[in-house]
């Protein structure tokens, strides 16, 4: 089957007076597994419904396989969508649910039968063909929804939080199944989720949405390592942000002042960063924590702090540490016999300049 690209060009969508998507531009490559990640209400489902043809943008263009979709109704688009609620017909058997789209398309009975059999086999539901949806587990219902969508051989697969109704361990298993099926079929897939771990574990690339605006597009690693702004930094993984009060750039160096802390100088080969609302950010595990009286490794810069609390997580101990005006999260790898430091212990946090970023 031909793999198709999806392109959104400067799309604006409003429901009445409420602007929901603002100038959304995305290019999704043929055969890509692409995630739309964002908090509830950020416009993910609205964008997915727009690609499917259930929403119409007021401005901008949507192209699938290079073709402008605006004159096309949903059923003319060759797009399959799995809804968050699955939307299975409760009074119909699994077989009839899956066959429905083929019946509507007036597919010949022999071909219909072969296709339904093949797709039930593919999702591992062959034995359940005569059951009703309410006689199936959540994971099985989700497979029926998927089978029903792929049986008509769409070129684009749209998944709206397809795993959110499943419990945690099933969710992890199903996301791998989804991914391997997507790879097998080579379907360009847009996967909506509010769960950053799910997006990172599956997607080739993702777009982070906030309030209808695309904040950043890239691979999981690119977004995790180089978040474009504070929103992405906090939404993709756990990030510490130290409030910077003043920041001065001189050739190759950045000087930062933060309330109650010694001035920090970082090598800074890039162009000067924006001063307004700047923050110094780094991941919880990128920090070396030592007792206040211990000597400092000169490869790092050091910030004084006080431990407020800790949680043992098995592989690491997670500390909350007061540093200047902020409370930071610091993970220290745990090895058998390692000790946990008590609240009110004075410590120093060591950071490598390469592990920190300035965000606005
Ligand atoms: P998400 O899927 O990211 O949770 P949605 O796309 O469902 O977000 O919703 C984005 C915004 O649009 C929300 O503020 C929501 O309340 C609003 N919205 C969604 N659908 C409609 C609708 N049919 N009419 C009016 N407002 C809507
Ligand atoms: Mg939604």
For the domain that residue 193 is a member of, what is the CATH number?
3.40.50.300
Region 15-20 average pLDDT:
95
> 15 with 106, same domain?
yes
Q: What is the pLDDT of residue 312?
A: 94
Q: d(Cα 48, Cα 192) in Å, to the nearest integer? A: 8
> 355-358 contacts: CB < 8 A, separation 24 or more?
355/282, 355/283, 355/286, 356/266, 356/280, 356/281, 356/282, 356/286, 357/226, 357/227, 357/233, 357/280, 357/281, 357/282, 358/244, 358/247, 358/254, 358/256, 358/273, 358/278, 358/279, 358/280, 358/281
Q: What is the pLDDT of residue 212?
A: 98
99 within a domain of the structure (yes/no) = yes
DSSP β-ladder status, 346-351 and 301-312: antiparallel
Q: d(Cα 173, Cα 166) in Å, to the nearest integer? A: 10
Q: d(Cα 350, Cα 97) in Å, to the nearest integer? A: 59
Q: How many domains does the chain divide into?
A: 2
145 within a domain of the structure (yes/no) = yes
Spell out the residues 6+ positions from residue 16 whose beta carbon is closer than 8 angstroms to its own: none
Return the ligand 1 atom nearest residue 47 CA.
Answer: 6
Distances (CA, A) of 309 to 57, 181, 261, 331, 333: 49, 44, 21, 12, 16
1 within a domain of the structure (yes/no) = no
> 12 with 152, same domain?
yes
pLDDT digits 0-9 by tens, 185-241 = 899 999 999 999 999 999 999 999 999 999 999 999 999 999 999 999 999 989 999
Per-residue burial over 16-41, b if 16 or more Cβ lie within 10 Å, else e, is eeebbbbebebebeebbbbbbbbeee
- Enclosing domain of residue 284: 240-359
311 within a domain of the structure (yes/no) = yes
290 within a domain of the structure (yes/no) = yes
Ligand nearest to the CA of 85: 2
Pocket test for ligand 1, best of 11, 12, 14, 18 (most atoms within 8 A of CB): 18
Q: What is the pLDDT of residue 120?
A: 94
Region 130-159 average pLDDT:
92
> 47 with 162, same domain?
yes
pLDDT digits 0-9 by tens, 286-325 = 999 999 998 888 888 999 999 999 999 999 999 999 999 8
Does the pLDDT value for residue 262 go beyond 90?
A: no
Region 144-171 average pLDDT:
90
Q: What is the pLDDT of residue 217?
A: 98
Q: d(Cα 241, Cα 279) in Å, to the nearest integer? A: 6
Collapsed DSSP state (helix, strand, coil) of residue 105: coil
Reference 286, options 336, 335, 225; nearest CA is 225
Q: What is the pLDDT of residue 168?
A: 84
Give first-to-last CA distance, the chain, whole Å.
44
What is the strand order of the sheet 357-359 is part of?
A: 240-243, 279-282, 357-359
Which CATH number does the domain housing residue 311 bear? Answer: 2.40.50.100
Distance between Cα 44 and ligand 2 center (Å) = 6
201 within a domain of the structure (yes/no) = yes
Ligand nearest to the CA of 37: 1
Ligand nearest to the CA of 49: 1
What residues are in contact with ligand 1 under a 6 Å CB criterion? 15, 18, 20, 38, 40-46
Does the pLDDT value for residue 273 go beyond 80?
A: no
Q: Looking at ligand 1, which residue's alpha carbon is closest to its atom 23?
A: 15
Distances (CA, A) of 25 to 61, 191, 213: 9, 17, 9
Q: What is the pLDDT of residue 10?
A: 98
> 332 with 211, same domain?
no
DSSP β-ladder status, 6-15 and 18-28: antiparallel
Reference 173, options 158, 182, 165, 163; nearest CA is 163
Does the pLDDT value for residue 23 go beyond 90?
A: yes
Q: d(Cα 269, Cα 347) in Å, to the nearest integer? A: 30
Region 65-86 average pLDDT:
91
Q: d(Cα 68, Cα 58) in Å, to the nearest integer? A: 14
Q: What is the pLDDT of residue 42?
A: 97
| 327 exposure class (CB count in 10 Å sphere: 0-12, 13-18, 19+) | middle
Q: Looking at ligand 1, which residue's alpha carbon is closest to its atom 7?
A: 45
> 267 with 231, same domain?
no
- 354, β-bridge pairs: none
> 250 with 225, same domain?
no
Distance between Cα 66 and ligand 2 center (Å) = 26
Does the pLDDT value for residue 101 go beyond 70?
A: yes
> 280 with 175, same domain?
no
Does the pLDDT value for residue 44 go beyond 90?
A: yes
* Domain end among 181, 206, 235: 235
> 205 with 132, same domain?
yes
Q: What is the pLDDT of residue 298?
A: 83
CB distance 236 to 223 below 8 Å: yes
Does the pLDDT value for residue 269 go beyond 80?
A: no
Q: Looking at ligand 1, which residue's alpha carbon is closest to its atom 25?
A: 15
Tokens representing 72 are 């096309």
> 46 with 186, same domain?
yes
* Domain end among 235, 251, 273: 235
> 178 with 267, same domain?
no
> 31 with 176, same domain?
yes
Q: Indicate the pLDDT class of residue 272, thresholds 50, 70 and 90.
A: low
Q: What is the pLDDT of residue 360?
A: 81
* Domain end among 176, 208, 235: 235
Does the pLDDT value for residue 63 go beyond 90?
A: yes
Percentage of the residues of the chain whose pLDDT score is greater than 70: 99
148 within a domain of the structure (yes/no) = yes
Q: Looking at ligand 1, which residue's alpha carbon is closest to its atom 21?
A: 15
Could you please report the per-residue DSSP string of 300-345? SEEEEEEEEEEEE-SSEEEEEEEETTEEEEEEEE--TTPPPPPTT-
> 266 with 229, same domain?
no
């Amino acid at each position: 089957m031909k793999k198709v690209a999806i392109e959104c060009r400067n799309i604006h969508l409003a429901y009445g007076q409420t602007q929901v998507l603002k100038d959304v531009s995305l290019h999704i490559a043929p055969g890509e597994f692409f995630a739309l990640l964002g908090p509830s209400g950020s416009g993910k489902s609205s964008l997915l419904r727009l690609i499917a043809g259930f929403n119409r943008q007021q401005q901008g263009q949507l192209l699938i396989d290079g073709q402008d979709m605006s004159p096309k109704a949903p059923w003319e688009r060759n797009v399959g969508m799995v809804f968050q609620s699955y939307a299975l017909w409760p009074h119909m058997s699994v077989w009839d649910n899956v066959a429905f789209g083929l019946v509507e398309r007036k597919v010949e009975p022999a071909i219909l039968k072969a296709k339904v059999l093949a797709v039930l086999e593919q999702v591992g539901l062959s034995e359940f063909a005569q059951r009703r949806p309410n006689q199936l587990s959540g994971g099985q219902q989700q497979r029926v929804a998927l089978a029903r969508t792929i049986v008509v051989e769409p070129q684009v697969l749209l998944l709206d939080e397809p795993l959110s109704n499943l419990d945690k361990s099933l969710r992890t298993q199903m996301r791998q199944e989804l991914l391997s099926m997507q790879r097998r079929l080579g379907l360009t897939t847009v996967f909506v989720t509010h769960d950053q771990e799910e997006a990172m574990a599956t997607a080739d690339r993702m777009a982070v949405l906030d309030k209808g605006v695309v904040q950043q597009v890239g691979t999981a690693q690119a977004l995790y390592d180089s978040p474009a702004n504070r929103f992405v930094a906090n939404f993709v993984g756990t990030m510490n942000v130290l409030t910077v009060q003043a920041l001065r750039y001189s050739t190759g160096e950045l000087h930062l002042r933060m309330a109650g802390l010694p001035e920090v100088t970082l090598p800074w080969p890039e162009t000067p960063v924006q001063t307004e609302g700047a923050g110094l950010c780094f991941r919880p595990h990128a920090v070396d924590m030592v007792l206040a009286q211990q000597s400092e490794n000169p490869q790092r810069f050091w910030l004084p702090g006080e431990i407020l609390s800790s949680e043992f997580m098995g592989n690491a101990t997670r500390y909350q540490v007061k540093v200047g005006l902020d409370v930071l999260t610091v993970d220290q790898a745990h090895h058998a016999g390692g000790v946990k430091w008590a609240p009110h212990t004075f410590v120093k946090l060591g950071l490598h300049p390469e592990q920190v970023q300035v965000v606005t």
